[in-house]
Structure 1
Amino acid sequence: MKNSLFQFIIVSVTTFFFIPMEANDLDYQKYQTIKEMISNPHHQEEVEIYQERIRKVTDAPLPYLIKIVQSKDSFVFIRARAIQLLELYQSPTSGSALEKTIEDTHENTHLRKLAIRTYSKFSKIDTNRQSKFMKQFESDKELGLIVKNKQKFNRNSKHNQLDKHKFNQLNHN
């Protein structure tokens, strides 16, 4: 009896500390404000402007952007802009969110391709892991061409940083 109670306590404590923040744990008002900021289709602004506006709402925007990316009830263009903004907040968490978007075969193809573009620009993650992950999609009929092009581009480029002009072009497409 003591052993099973002890195991239950260990599992409960471990789950509490190692499960990532759920969407319900986010400040709903901050979530809505950030979502509203990036949802205006008529104002395609520089990434720094979005970043500055979001910074006024929270110092930790990553969970909110990920929630927007994963929110199937949001318009595709809002989720696309959140995917693009993840490039500003490169971390294992944002990389994982992009990987999930890329892997989700039920996800919008445009969002999956955009997630590949953003993920391929990540310079703060293990490049071997990134290459292995991307390699799985080389023969995918929807994603293969963009994966191959991104790999070729990454091999030829010296810097793997955000290109403001490309960000604006993606917003206008």
Structure 2
Amino acid sequence: MSNTKNSPSDPIRNKIKESPLIVLDLETYKPDGLIENFDMASLLEKGLVARREPFNEMLEKVNWDHYTDKHVAVHCSTSAILPPWPYLQVASALQPVARSAGFGTREDYHMELWKSNINKWDNQQFEGERVILKANKNIPHEIYLTAGYRLRKVVQTLMYGMPANTVPVFKRKISK
């Protein structure tokens, strides 16, 4: 009968690291870089009306250098109903300086960028694998939803939690 206890001279083994599980921390896909807000209301007459000439004059006065290498969330904080052309002009002005531009508030655009990073995954790296989406209170539910939707197509098993304590989400049936 063999002795299964480790002796004091045996190295400590990390059985979780030795397992075939992939622990995926979705926080690593969080967008990098600062996200700035750009409020269209500042270019509108009384914050509500977009007339081409006054709009263009206001557009020329904007210090676009402030947005250099930043993600920019473009929105309008008033109840103005705008046609597409003012947004197109702002996008055109931001393109040479900003890292990216998107529609909505800073929070909206942050979420859009985060989901975009997940949607850029090469799913082959997870093909047939056992994946745990690491529990993290700082990750919004919609990020888990996006990741789970993408992974369901390719993984053998999808779990949520921590390696020692997971909640099963999906397990592919093995055909015989």
TM-score (normalizing by structure 2) = 0.26
Bigger proportion of residues as strand: 2
Highest CA radius of gyration, 1 or 2? 2
Higher relative CO (Cα under 8 Å, sequence separation at least 6) belongs to 2
